Amino acid sequence: MEIRTGIGYDIHKLEEGRKFVLGNVTIPFEKGFIAHSDGDVLIHAIIDALLGAIAYGDIGRLFPDNDDSYKNIDSSILLRRVKKIVKEKGYKIGNIDTIIICQKPKLMPYIDKIRENLSSILEIEIDKISVKAKTKEGMDATGKGDSVEVFASTLIFKEM
């Protein structure tokens, strides 16, 4: 069996009047992400982790932000495309582990729905997906509520 791991990271600024979307869940909040796509930092970090595991570069290489076909695109569409590439290369996803760093809003009420969405998009069992939420205790731009950061890791495998 061949086993690979990948690490992903993303950060987006927040601005009033925009949508706040994490894991394909729209969360009610007065601010949302400034981004070319829908700004789903969680899905973007997962995409980078999966692409890293197959040595395929990063999200910007595959879905450049200067390509208008990705303007305001639902990030779950991009994740499905990456899942297909991983599968075409003969790999299966073993697990996904993520940390969302966000001062506000409180994410705990949405974690289960986020995990359900990711399970459906990736076609893997929900117990293979971990989503944790942390704050920065008021430190730096994320801690002051001006941005959201996400770290993601993944394990993929290919049976030989």
User: How sure is the predictor about 70, in pLDDT bands with cuts at 50, 70 and 90?
Assistant: confident
* Phi, psi (rounded to 5 degrees) for 115: -60, -40
Instruction: Find out whether 119 and 46 touch, Cβ atoms under 8 Å.
Output: no
In whole angstroms, give the CA distance from residue 137 to residue 29: 19
Share of the chain above pLDDT 70, in %: 100
The reported pLDDT for the residue numbered 38 is: 87
Per-residue pLDDT tens digits for 13-51: 999 999 999 999 999 999 999 888 889 999 999 999 999
Structure tokens at 62: 């595959």
The reported pLDDT for the residue numbered 27 is: 97
Neighbour count for residue 25 (Cβ, 10 Å): 19
Average pLDDT over residues 68-96: 93
In whole angstroms, give the CA distance from residue 43 to residue 49: 10
Q: Please state the pTM of the whole predicted model.
A: 0.95
Average pLDDT over residues 131-136: 96
Structural class in CATH, domain 2-158: alpha beta
Beta strands in 111-146 (DSSP E): 129-134
Q: Where are the domains of the chain?
A: 2-158
Instruction: Find out whether 136 and 101 touch, Cβ atoms under 8 Å.
Output: yes
* Phi, psi (rounded to 5 degrees) for 138: 80, 5
Per-residue pLDDT tens digits for 108-119: 999 999 999 999
Give 148's strand partners.
12
